[in-house]
Structure 1
């Protein structure tokens, strides 16, 4: 099989507000907030109650359904609030960070001489295991199952995504020790993908199977790459890890300290000076967005993540656990008179009916959050297949999820997909159906009924 992956189906959404390749230290956040909802399918059992003093790396809570999976504090400080929802559900844990950070010392680990079980126990005890996700179901990996392969996407193709080549500069040693450790946890390969004409530090690593990917979004999605490299069949499991999470794992192995650092891209047409910040997981986004970022009275939507798959957060909210992008775009709560019945020059569309974005593929757009239509029944247009590069029927699998037919979901390839794989079909959907929500509900049903 060729290591050159070429994706033809997809759609590049070119937006204004790409981050300049300049890196600044964000204002040190006084508070750190961890939300269990970032870890889908986890039932948290709290260890650090209000008033507890913790070091960076110490356990805040663990998964009630699998007590070995622990979740660490990104900072040292005092737990000042546990926010609870209905039925005393834990919605957030807020920590007041110390001015001088103290780290729990897990001790260095020599990965070359360590056995697989030793590495696994080390990652579980240190709180780094939540960085490892699995397909199927797109949840935190089950440590009791061995994957047939591990995938890392070193190429980001989403709109205004952080440039991973820039964000990972100088992190070759951390990446190398992390992939060496992970390679001992699988009998298969550690597959790493990079873009063409790249200067990625992944090019310098050993012990990996390197692939080059090209084509429109979602070519950078790890699900697309799995589908083209080693598709998942029933009964099989693969693991995925984000590149910046690999750096955290690598630094832990080299130093014994859980250093939850993120290089975050502040992007979007509503940002005065889009650029990169160095910060910590769970930091307040206000430490980045108001410094030559956006006006405090601006009518915008702040998204932790990219515009297709990220979560809307408040201006006083926190960076979520897995995001390396903060997107700020205009709030779309205004409507155009007869907008459906006149030529459109300032929006992206896959259709050529009164739309002209296809005439200028390099143009960048200032799009807002308006869905430009209302929710309605599925309309069969054939457009989904134009942007969906999997060997799967997207509309059929969406419908199977809606009427909860497990046999049909299995037959159509549900084991391979995750919600982010349907972000583009949701974007172009004339029916305004919530594709990612539908797929997430289908995966949850399968996990509950099939496991």
Structure 2
């Protein structure tokens, strides 16, 4: 194993064994336990565009038009040829828009026999042809670019590429579950990524994994990681292995599903829609919590049918930390493989801060339970925040759950004041909004750091011309 000097310190190159001590596995009740069950294919499926709120789209289809799986539905106006494609074959039933006519969903009513658009993978080693093929096939929305956590732009080729094959968020299905049965496609995806950079493709997976798709992967540099959440976040992997040095030091990142999407396009010329989903949370009937074989863009109503309890619930596309509130008429988010339901708190408990809180979790040891080991099944959580937003109190508390070497409170304050030069010095280029999920969760000041960082990255990227 060699080493190189970055930011005045020596960093090891070659395979690494990363151990993380700071972090937190939230002890939330309602984990998925039932093994894989096949979900019936629903009548409607949607291309969800909500995560791309900083992207302007050109709509390529109209309501009533027939489409195939993998057919382009919208195109990015900023990156010519960057397509977002259909996850289903059938008729475009509805084009949903939000505030200021922002695109939210394109709803497709499935045909009984769906057709897939089949593309011809490039046979030459020409990089421009390969990039054009991946743009046309809908692979690029699964590739994120650092710094700024944007959808990757082929004009900015990466110094390195990082693949996170670790899932550590609450209730999320493991990467091993996602690639099981698709090992050859996954390897093809890794080989494709190796053609997109002159640097290295870094594959990070959980220590002790027995998945041969990871342990025997070729044309990549393999690293293992262990510890509590956020061991699955790519920012941590990059900082440990090959830190970002400047606004022009581009790194591309993908999840295991992103690699599978590239792999299927290159092997078969078709779009990858298979998903292993988790259904979890106390709002889901205990006997119905578990893992499901499903599709990208599943409707919420098909996930909750005969599965939820009769009480007020918060339905979440994604996990409890970074997921998005949805309604029964909505669809699973573009990147989401988890759906959960937790009790919606409708009453405020009188003098809750004076109680012992023997059945409540406390990361800051405000309750007696903060000094004890969590019960086997975890604690019951609701949507109650127990207070409103107020000024920062103590920045040291966040460092207990933040393994990145950044001063959390100072960075958030620099973003709020839009002092981006100082924010860059504090580590803004190295982070993504999801890195602040745990600090937000334990924050006694109830400050929504995820939203603040997301807005700050967007503003600074515009300032830098990205």
**How does the TM-score come out when normalised to structure 1?**
0.95
Query: Contact 1:277–1:288 (CA<8 Å) still a contact in 2?
Result: no
1:282 equivalent among 282, 290, 297: 297
Query: Contact 1:248–1:261 (CA<8 Å) still a contact in 2?
Result: no
2:405 equivalent among 384, 388, 391: 391
Query: Residues 249-288 of structure 1 correspond to what in structure 2 (within 5 A)?
Result: 249-272=262-285, 273-288=288-303
Which residue of 1 is the match for residue 4 of structure 2? none
Distance 1:92 1:194 in 2: 32
2:228 equivalent among 216, 229, 232: 216
2:208 equivalent among 189, 197, 204: 197
Q: Does 1:100 align with 2:91?
A: no
Query: Contact 2:24–2:230 (CA<8 Å) still a contact in 1?
Result: yes
Which residue of 2 is the match for residue 157 of structure 1? 168
Structure 1 residue 38: Cα displacement: 2.0
Flag the 1:348–1:354 CA change in 2: closer, same or farther, 3 A: closer
Which residue of 2 is the match for residue 180 of structure 1? 191
Give the gaps of 5 or more residues in structure 2. Answer: 1-11
> 307-316 vs 357-366, which deviates more?
357-366
Distance 1:447 1:232 in 2: 15
Q: Does 1:116 align with 2:127?
A: yes
Query: Contact 2:87–2:273 (CA<8 Å) still a contact in 1?
Result: yes
Query: Contact 1:12–1:217 (CA<8 Å) still a contact in 2?
Result: yes
1:170 equivalent among 174, 177, 181: 181
Q: Secondary structure of 1:298's partner?
A: coil
Query: Contact 1:21–1:166 (CA<8 Å) still a contact in 2?
Result: no
Q: How well do the aligned residues superpose, as a CA RMSD in angstroms?
A: 1.7
Flag the 1:55–1:385 CA change in 2: closer, same or farther, 3 A: same
Structure 1 residue 441: Cα displacement: 0.9
Flag the 1:324–1:87 CA change in 2: closer, same or farther, 3 A: closer
**How does the TM-score come out when normalised to structure 2?**
0.92
Distance 2:367 2:273 in 1: 48
Give the gaps of 5 or more residues in structure 1. Answer: none
Structure 1 residue 87: Cα displacement: 4.1
Structure 1 residue 52: Cα displacement: 1.4
Q: Secondary structure of 2:462's partner?
A: helix
Q: Deviations over 1:154-194 (max 9, x none)?
A: 11111122122223212210110001001110111111111
Query: Residues 20-419 of structure 1 correspond to what in structure 2 (within 5 A)?
Result: 20=33, 22-109=35-122, 114-200=125-211, 201-234=213-246, 235-272=248-285, 273-291=288-306, 293-295=307-309, 297-361=310-374, 363=376, 364-419=378-433
Distance 2:233 2:370 in 1: 24
> 307-316 vs 362-371, which deviates more?
362-371
Query: Contact 1:126–1:258 (CA<8 Å) still a contact in 2?
Result: yes
Flag the 1:223–1:346 CA change in 2: closer, same or farther, 3 A: farther
Distance 1:416 1:347 in 2: 34
Distance 1:171 1:30 in 2: 26
Q: Deviations over 1:38-81 (max 9, x none)?
A: 22421011011122111111110101112221110011111122
Structure 1 residue 109: Cα displacement: 4.9
Distance 2:282 2:423 in 1: 39
